[in-house]
Amino acid sequence: MGVEGIGARVVRKEDKRFITGKGRYVDDIKLTGMTHAYFIRSPHAHAKVKGIDSSAALKMPGVVAVLTGKQLVDDKVGNLICGWAITSKDGSPMKMGAWPAMAPETVRFVGQAVAVVIAESKNLARDAAEAVVVDYEELPAVADMQAAIKAGAPQLHPEAPGNQVYDWVIGDEGATDAAFSKAANVVKLDVTNNRLAPNAMEPRAAIADYDAAEEHFTLYTTSQNPHVARLVLSAFYNIAPEHKLRVIAPDVGGGFGSKIFIYPEEMVALWASKKVGRPVKWTGDRTEAFLTDAHGRDHVTHAEMAFDTSNKIIGLKVKTYANFGAYMSLFSSSVPTYLYATLLSGQYNIPAIHAEVIGVYTNTTPVDAYRGAGRPEASYLIERLMETAARQLNVDPAELRRTNFITQFPHQTPVIMAYDTGDFNASLDAAMKAIDYAGFAARKAQAKSQGKLRGIGVSCYIEACGIAPSKAVGSLGAGVGLWESAEVRVNPVGTIEILTGSHSHGQGHETTFCQLVADRLGVPISQVSIVHGDTDKVQFGMGTYGSRSAAVGLTAILKAMEKMESKAKKIAAHALEASEADIVIENGEFKVTGTDKAIALPMVALAAYTAHNLPDGMEPGLKESAFYDPTNFTFPAGAYICELEVDPGTGKTSFINFVAADDFGRLINPMIVEGQVHGGLAQGIGQALLEHAIYDANGQPVTASFMDYAMPRADDLPSFNLSHTTTLCPGNPLGIKGCGEAGAIGASAAVINAITDAIGKNNLEMPATPDRVWRTIHAA
Amino acid sequence: MSTVKLTVNGKAVAVDVEDRTLLVQLLRDHLNLTGTHVGCDTSQCGACVVHMDGRAVKSCTMLAGQADGASITTIEGIAKGDELHPMQAAFRDNHGLQCGYCTPGMIMSAIDIVHRHGGQLDEATVRHELEGNICRCTGYHNIVKAVLDAAGRMKVAQAAE
């Protein structure tokens, strides 16, 4: 590797603008004549909208318009869609309740918009919103999943009797029942996977600008996938055809999944901009983020694991209820099915698995992908089960895992996934060494002498990233292909622009993607720029989620680079009067191998564009593009071990050590990979100890600001002890698996396994607040 | 409406604002200093931290009028031309930022922390002091490293002056 090539800890190119206050986020953008939107949102979890009186508001200073859900529907703006079709076990399609961007008749969660005020400033819009009178007729609401599926529960959608979205199954029920009938031991566990609010630090925002002369819209938006946004806005929401709609996602302040989806506010801003003939800006505040950003997790599961006499797993049965909230968000249907149940084999040989997932509507904010999306729920369940089993079977939890590890690859699980490669023993060995697992008993005894309860918890996760190939996900119901595109432009002076459909909102693509170019051509990364986030600049792309940007997006760049290099070699060979096969690329030069003859990249580029002396028949220019569709998911895996102490007097948890040994395949920039793991671990630990999006029985959110929802602070977290083991991913030429979500997937179980080890009681739900831990310790 | 006179990043300015205007709105909307961010509206997250007369304040939680006569420094005002402030450099060198949204407030708070503690900073103190700044990307690991690194750099810079 060069100093800036693959594997180098290159300091980020994008940092200068962020550390000097020159980042350009949506809310930083001002357009001439821009108006401001403020949404009027339902204070009720379930109500009929009987009428909206905006006459007083319209007379207030600076008010341009008050627009309602009825007008939106009359203008034929399409309902929000869910882009992954799931079929219930009885063969019926999932039951999708209609979701207009502003509710014309019925609101189904607190925060759902019914109207919008457009005014000269945000303050004036907010003032006027106070004067809009909405006449609601309250309806009975249900926020709890178990209550929602009971007979007689308030019904959300006429399309979905019993509030059921679907009842979906995977695996072989007969084979699983047969395995259980032969079991020497059965371990049972009930777990709740707590609802989380994603809380990217930048609240969502949108600026819509309609050009009446060109009948063209421009949308600046906080999106992880601007092309997908344009596709959906165009194909399903009837905003404008794609060539009349430009979507720009500039600097985006974190996403974690929540900015994948196309939300009502963007749709309304676009529609309103045309209505009022001026640009419309909306910037959400934090409470709006809690009310309207798609939440994550929220499962209730019963699982049973069957073991034979040698402690080998012979079967797994899972029944999960997944809370969808009031509507089906864009990819919500896939999260508790194909992103969750397909990972239920964990790192283990499990010959028979059967899982049933029941999706449930409640009068709460919609739930969709949040960092890990289904895989944290699967990993948490399996790793809590393994720990519970170890305690019940009276074996060391690490040893029980080893007994059951998959060691032969490729490995076909009973739940679709075919793991391509891995070395689970290696990552567990690395983690156990890093934390001195063997010395734990002595440390526990030492802590006990000081009145502290010390515990250790293991979590061996596996996840599936990349989400591909397109043909496979299409056969499972996905409404889109999941490839990525790239374009390499070598300018006439030899500088390079990489256009990518991936989107960076903290991941550091402007650095890591340049590192690939530096690695291949030997040019400094200062000569390379990354262009992304604008549908007018980049042809197409599927965006960034599912830890796909390196494994899929970077591989697309590699494919385009290979095409460009092939052409450039022909030009160089022609100029140097050598054979193309003898040309090698080193330090920014095309060399004839074994000679001192060379031509620098800028001269090759210039030759391509002057076209004065190209090989016969060659087109001028030096620009190539590629679409890359992977052959399989990638399977990052690793072992996390947490050591902590619980104060039995207060229930407070203090970290002693947290070690993570991850196998992400090849690392492009270890510094950035480590940063991704740190952030993921913080979110996983946040789920385990602090975070919980709570509703009361009537669907009123109890946690709708940072004063109520416990975000992890610096003092809540330890420094992390990271290491890597490596098996290269055979599914892509760079051998990359992806690192963006692992921390959030693996951490929660390690923490809860450690606390329950410390306190000697196995049943403890997340978040394990001091109050909850204290009560568990002192329960009879 | 009132006229608020203050010094921002060394420049004297007078701005006519509605009385309810927050300091962060004056900076962002009237002076186009968009490096200072709003992340929570409730004084929890610290994305809006600036310095007022040398002390860290949350600019989303005070009225512009309360800054009348004060000297305000924002993230745009701490580098000397092309030379980054040691805290800015330490955040970059330690990968103390990802999406960059909390970063301006983090850096402004961190400078204040170092000033208040002099050279007496350790990891536990930094973590405790960062209570009012929330980051969702980094897990704080590299932010803590950056602040400790910068504390050393600022000491050296001070000694050199």
Query: What are A68-117's pLDDT values in tens digits?
Result: 999 999 999 999 999 999 999 999 999 999 999 999 999 999 999 999 99
Which residue of A199, A675, A705 is in closest CB contact with B138?
A: A675
- Asked if the Cβ–Cβ distance from B20 to A123 is below 8 Å, we say yes
Instruction: Give the pLDDT score at B118.
Output: 82
Which residue of A19, A251, A719 is in closest CB contact with B92?
A: A19
| Strand A164-171 versus strand A216-221 pairing type | unpaired
User: Which of A16, A17, A19 to mutate to probe the B interface, most B CBs <10 Å?
Assistant: A19
Residues of B in contact with A17 (CB under 8 A): 100
Co-location of A603 and A589 in the same domain: yes
β partners of residue A645: A454, A654
Q: How confident is the model at residue B47 (pLDDT cuts 50, 70, 90)?
A: very high
- Asked if the Cβ–Cβ distance from A679 to B98 is below 8 Å, we say yes
Co-location of A132 and A267 in the same domain: yes
- In chain B, the residue whose alpha carbon lies closest to the alpha carbon of A740 is B137
Mean pLDDT of A418-441: 98
Co-location of A581 and A543 in the same domain: yes
A672 touches chain B (CB under 8 A): yes
CATH code for the domain of A120:
3.90.1170.50
Range of the domain at A81: 31-139+202-253+259-292
- Asked if the Cβ–Cβ distance from A21 to B35 is below 8 Å, we say yes
Which residue of B20, B35, B95 is in closest CB contact with A671?
A: B95
Residue A476 lies in a domain: no
Which residue of B79, B126, B128 is in closest CB contact with A20?
A: B79
The answer to whether residue A1 scores a pLDDT higher than 60 is: no
Selection from B56, B152, B139 nearest residue B96 by Cα: B139
Residues of A in contact with B107 (CB under 8 A): 19
Q: How confident is the model at residue B51 (pLDDT cuts 50, 70, 90)?
A: very high
- Give the distance from residue B69's alpha carbon to the nearest chain A alpha carbon, in angstroms: 24
Residues of A in contact with B95 (CB under 8 A): 11-12, 671-672, 674-675
Q: How confident is the model at residue A425 (pLDDT cuts 50, 70, 90)?
A: very high
Q: Is the ipTM of this complex over 0.95?
A: yes
Co-location of A760 and A640 in the same domain: yes
Residues of A in contact with B140 (CB under 8 A): 678, 682, 712-714, 717
Helix (H) or strand (E) holding A586: strand A583-586
Q: How confident is the model at residue B37 (pLDDT cuts 50, 70, 90)?
A: very high
- In chain B, the residue whose alpha carbon lies closest to the alpha carbon of A22 is B35
- Give the distance from residue A722's alpha carbon to the nearest chain B alpha carbon, in angstroms: 11
A680 touches chain B (CB under 8 A): yes
Residue A21 lies in a domain: no
Instruction: Give the pLDDT score at B158.
Output: 81
Instruction: Give the pLDDT score at A473.
Output: 86
User: Which of B17, B42, B136, B153 to mutate to probe the A interface, most A CBs <10 Å?
Assistant: B136
Q: How confident is the model at residue A480 (pLDDT cuts 50, 70, 90)?
A: confident
- Give the distance from residue B138's alpha carbon to the nearest chain A alpha carbon, in angstroms: 4
- In chain B, the residue whose alpha carbon lies closest to the alpha carbon of A504 is B99
Instruction: Give the pLDDT score at A363.
Output: 98
Selection from A547, A595, A559 nearest residue A742 by Cα: A547
pLDDT in tens, A338-364: 999 999 999 999 999 999 999 999 999
Co-location of A673 and A588 in the same domain: no
A713 touches chain B (CB under 8 A): yes
Q: How confident is the model at residue A548 (pLDDT cuts 50, 70, 90)?
A: confident
Co-location of A457 and A581 in the same domain: no
Selection from A271, A279, A281, A261 nearest residue A72 by Cα: A271
Report A:354-393 residues touching B (Cβ under 8 A): none
Residues of B in contact with A707 (CB under 8 A): 42, 44
A772 touches chain B (CB under 8 A): no
Residues of B in contact with A675 (CB under 8 A): 95, 98, 137-138, 141-142
Place of tokens 């402004």: B108
Which DSSP letter does residue A162 get? Answer: G
- Give the distance from residue A324's alpha carbon to the nearest chain B alpha carbon, in angstroms: 24
Q: Residue A151 contacts by C-beta under 8 Å, 6 or more apart in sequence?
A: none
Co-location of A115 and A242 in the same domain: yes
Q: Residue A576 contacts by C-beta under 8 Å, 6 or more apart in sequence?
A: A583, A590, A592, A597, A598, A599
- Asked if the Cβ–Cβ distance from B95 to A199 is below 8 Å, we say no
Cis, peptide link before residue A469, omega less than 30° from 0: yes
The answer to whether residue A2 scores a pLDDT higher than 80 is: no
Co-location of A566 and A685 in the same domain: no
A613 touches chain B (CB under 8 A): no
- Give the distance from residue A485's alpha carbon to the nearest chain B alpha carbon, in angstroms: 23
Residue A551 has φ and ψ, to the nearest 5°, of -65, -40
| pTM attached to this predicted model | 0.97
The answer to whether residue B119 scores a pLDDT higher than 80 is: no
Domains observed in chain B: 2-77 (3.10.20.30), 86-160 (1.10.150.120)
Instruction: Give the pLDDT score at B157.
Output: 82
Which residue of A21, A253, A707 is in closest CB contact with B75?
A: A21
Pick B161 or A356 by higher pLDDT.
A356
pLDDT in tens, A676-692: 999 999 999 999 999 99
Alpha-carbon separation of residue A623 from A49, A181, A495, A496 (angstroms): 55, 63, 12, 10
Residues of B in contact with A18 (CB under 8 A): 97, 100, 103-104
Residue A390 lies in a domain: yes
- Asked if the Cβ–Cβ distance from A15 to B133 is below 8 Å, we say no
Q: How confident is the model at residue B113 (pLDDT cuts 50, 70, 90)?
A: very high
Q: How confident is the model at residue A262 (pLDDT cuts 50, 70, 90)?
A: very high
Rounded distance between C-alpha atoms, residue B58 and residue A351, angstroms: 57
Last residue of one domain, picked from the residues A598, A613, A628? A628
Count of pairs with CB atoms under 8 A, one residue in A, one in B = 181
Co-location of A619 and A729 in the same domain: no
Residue A682 has φ and ψ, to the nearest 5°, of -60, -40
Residues of B in contact with A13 (CB under 8 A): none
- In chain A, the residue whose alpha carbon lies closest to the alpha carbon of B18 is A123
| Strand A583-586 versus strand A353-361 pairing type | unpaired
Residue A80 lies in a domain: yes
Domain count, chain A: 3
Instruction: Give the pLDDT score at B147.
Output: 98
Task: Among A11-15, A477-481, A497-501, name the one with the lowest average pLDDT.
Answer: A477-481
Q: How confident is the model at residue B120 (pLDDT cuts 50, 70, 90)?
A: confident
Residue A194 lies in a domain: no
Residues of B in contact with A125 (CB under 8 A): none
Which residue of A19, A23, A715 is in closest CB contact with B84?
A: A19
Rounded distance between C-alpha atoms, residue B76 and residue B96, angstroms: 18
Co-location of A697 and A661 in the same domain: yes
Instruction: Give the pLDDT score at B143.
Output: 98
Q: Which two tokens stand for residue A608?
A: 């391509």
Four-CA torsion A281, A285, A290, A296, nearest 10 degrees? 60
CATH code for the domain of A339:
3.30.365.10
- Asked if the Cβ–Cβ distance from A201 to B102 is below 8 Å, we say yes
Co-location of A439 and A406 in the same domain: yes
pLDDT, mean over chain A: 97
Residues of A in contact with B88 (CB under 8 A): 19-20
The answer to whether residue A308 scores a pLDDT higher than 60 is: yes
Residue A188 lies in a domain: no
Residues of A in contact with B141 (CB under 8 A): 675, 678, 717, 719-720
Which residue of B42, B128, B144 is in closest CB contact with A719?
A: B144
- Asked if the Cβ–Cβ distance from A681 to B139 is below 8 Å, we say yes
Last residue of one domain, picked from the residues A628, A646, A670? A628
The answer to whether residue A386 scores a pLDDT higher than 70 is: yes
Rounded distance between C-alpha atoms, residue A251 and residue A22, angstroms: 10
The answer to whether residue A165 scores a pLDDT higher than 60 is: yes
Instruction: Give the pLDDT score at B156.
Output: 82
The answer to whether residue A482 scores a pLDDT higher than 90 is: no
Last residue of one domain, picked from the residues A602, A628, A654? A628
Residue A3 lies in a domain: no
Residue A85 lies in a domain: yes
Report A:507-526 residues touching B (Cβ under 8 A): 507-508
Co-location of A324 and A232 in the same domain: no
Strand arrangement of the beta sheet that strand A528-531 belongs to: A528-531, A496-500, A484-490, A623-628
- Asked if the Cβ–Cβ distance from A23 to B35 is below 8 Å, we say yes
Rounded distance between C-alpha atoms, residue A257 and residue A254, angstroms: 9
Does residue A59 sit in helix, strand or coil? coil
Q: Report the half-sphere exposure of A524 (CA within 13 A, side-chain side).
A: 3
Instruction: Give the pLDDT score at B14.
Output: 98
A224 touches chain B (CB under 8 A): no
